[in-house]
């Protein structure tokens, strides 16, 4: 790892999303606590390198790394973290913008609670919405923060105060020393993966690190339908559904002992294969419903393109 600085290193893995990446980057660079933003290009074929080089001429905190071969998101996250220099590492995303003061809020609450890993709320911005409208809609959500039956985290949850939680959002602020003992499990692979952050978080818990949910920090995740929608979406949805099953199976096999000891009410504690199939069916149904909504909103707001 590089020589440490007291600030935050932001790690953003990316793959062929140069336009959206450059739209969300300012939300990271406006934070005074950010020492560097490391964009790790997972061997993409678009113009990400050129766009980042142009931005970096006026922003010395912006760094660009490129994988020689496509490694998948978990390995790309590990590479960015190992190349970073901050006392804290924010694992971020190339289609996600930070709300105002997000990093400073997470830092303050991490120090106040003694958290080693802390994350806030993630609000999905639907096509036709702005961030304020998306937040108003998300605030109507009253589902609990954590579902032990399905080992699911509700990123829209509202709580009155910071709460410890075994699972958090994937965009999380991590104390650097955690990476001395825990890494993203690279066989999860892929770009839009599933459970790699859950696996990381449970492994951190097993090492006695403290995980905290902070409801006062908000991030905004932009809908995939705001970029394109068409035939390729069906293929992408099928691939994603398969990865949900495969990665959930891997997650259960790797963490079965810890789950049995600490979350005996989970419905995922039987056969790992059957549990992964059940969970995969549940998530696929949810995903298909979301795709129908994206399709409808894309047609409604004139963003539909058959590609």
Q: Give tens-digit pLDDT for 211-264.
A: 999 999 999 999 755 444 445 666 777 777 788 888 989 999 999 999 999 999
Q: Tell me which of 302 and 284 has the higher pLDDT.
A: 284
Q: Give tens-digit pLDDT for 32-44.
A: 999 999 999 999 9
Q: Give tens-digit pLDDT for 68-81.
A: 999 999 999 999 99
Tell me, yes or no, whether 270 and 125 share the same domain.
Answer: no
Measuring CA to CA, which residue among 226, 188, 197 is closest to residue 17? 226
Tell me, yes or no, whether 210 and 259 share the same domain.
Answer: no
Residue 56's domain comprises: 5-222
In-domain check, residue 305: no
* Predicted confidence (pLDDT) at residue 1 exceeds the cutoff of 60: no
Tell me, yes or no, whether 11 and 159 share the same domain.
Answer: yes
Tell me, yes or no, whether 38 and 160 share the same domain.
Answer: yes
Q: Which residues touch 196 (CB under 8 Å, ≥6 apart)? A: 73, 74, 77, 170, 184, 185, 188, 247
Per-residue pLDDT, averaged over 160-173, amounts to: 98
Tell me, yes or no, whether 209 and 252 share the same domain.
Answer: no
Tell me, yes or no, whether 22 and 166 share the same domain.
Answer: yes
In-domain check, residue 306: no
Which two three-digit tokens encode residue 220?
A: 């905004």
Boundary residue ending a domain (193, 222, 251): 222
Integer Cα distance of 224 and 232 in angstroms: 12
Please tell me whether the overall predicted TM-score, pTM, comes out greater than 0.75 for this model: yes
Tell me, yes or no, whether 294 and 189 share the same domain.
Answer: no
Q: Which residues touch 133 (CB under 8 Å, ≥6 apart)? A: none
Looking at the structure of the chain, the number of domains it has is: 2
Q: Give tens-digit pLDDT for 195-205.
A: 999 999 999 99
Which two three-digit tokens encode residue 61?
A: 């905190």
Integer Cα distance of 92 and 167 in angstroms: 16
């Amino acid at each position: 790892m590089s020589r440490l600085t007291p600030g935050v290193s932001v790690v953003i893995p990316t793959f062929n999303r140069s336009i959206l990446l450059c739209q969300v980057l300012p939300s990271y660079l406006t934070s005074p606590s950010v020492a560097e933003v490391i964009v790790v290009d997972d061997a993409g074929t678009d113009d990400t390198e050129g766009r980042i080089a142009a931005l970096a001429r006026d922003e010395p905190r912006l760094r660009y790394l490129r994988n020689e071969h496509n490694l998948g998101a978990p390995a790309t996250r590990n590479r960015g973290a190992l190349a970073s220099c901050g006392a804290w590492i924010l694992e971020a995303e190339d289609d996600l913008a930070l709300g105002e003061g997000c990093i400073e809020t997470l830092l303050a609450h991490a120090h106040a609670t003694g958290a080693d890993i802390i994350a806030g709320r993630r609000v999905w911005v639907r096509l036709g919405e702005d961030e304020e409208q998306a937040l108003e809609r998300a605030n109507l959500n009253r589902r609990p923060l954590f579902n032990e039956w399905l080992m699911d985290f509700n990123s829209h949850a509202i709580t009155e105060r910071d709460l410890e939680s075994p699972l958090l959002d994937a965009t999380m602020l991590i104390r650097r020393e955690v990476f001395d003992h825990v890494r993203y499990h690279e066989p999860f692979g892929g770009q839009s993966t599933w459970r790699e952050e859950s696996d990381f978080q449970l492994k951190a818990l097993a090492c006695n690190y403290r995980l905290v949910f902070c409801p006062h920090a908000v991030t905004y995740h932009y809908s995939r339908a705001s970029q394109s929608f068409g035939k390729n979406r069906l293929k992408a949805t099928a691939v994603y559904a398969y990865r949900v099953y495969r990665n959930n199976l891997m997650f259960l096999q790797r963490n079965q002992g810890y789950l049995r000891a600490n979350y005996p009410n989970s419905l995922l504690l039987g056969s790992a294969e059957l549990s992964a199939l059940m969970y995969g069916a549940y998530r696929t149904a949810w995903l298909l419903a979301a795709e129908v909504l994206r399709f409808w909103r894309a047609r409604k707001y004139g963003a539909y393109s058959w590609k």
